[in-house]
Amino acid sequence: MKIDEIRGKTGDELEYELKNLRKELFDLRFKSATQSLQSPAKIRQLKRTIARLLTIQNERTAGIRGQEPR
């Protein structure tokens, strides 16, 4: 997910997306511990996307980079 796509989402959409990505990351980590993954790079991608979501949330909270879209 690109940063522009994330910036275009509302706060509720960000929270929903964050919840889903964290669940997916948990499932992938659990699967990697019990069996081999088809794409181990997916874990890194998810972690980075989660970090992007959290960054945008923090920017909005601090008022650094504009308001959430309407």
Q: What is the number of structural domains in the chain?
A: 1
Mean pLDDT of the chain: 90
The range of the structural domain enclosing residue 13 comes to: 3-62
- pLDDT value of position 25: 95
CATH of the domain at 58: 1.10.287.310
pLDDT tens sequence across 36-53 = 888 889 999 999 999 999
Cα radius of gyration rounded to whole Å, the chain: 14
Whether 70 has a pLDDT exceeding 80, the answer reads no
Whether 17 has a pLDDT exceeding 70, the answer reads yes
Q: At 55, is the pLDDT very low, low, confident or very high (cuts 50, 70, 90)?
A: very high
- pLDDT value of position 67: 65
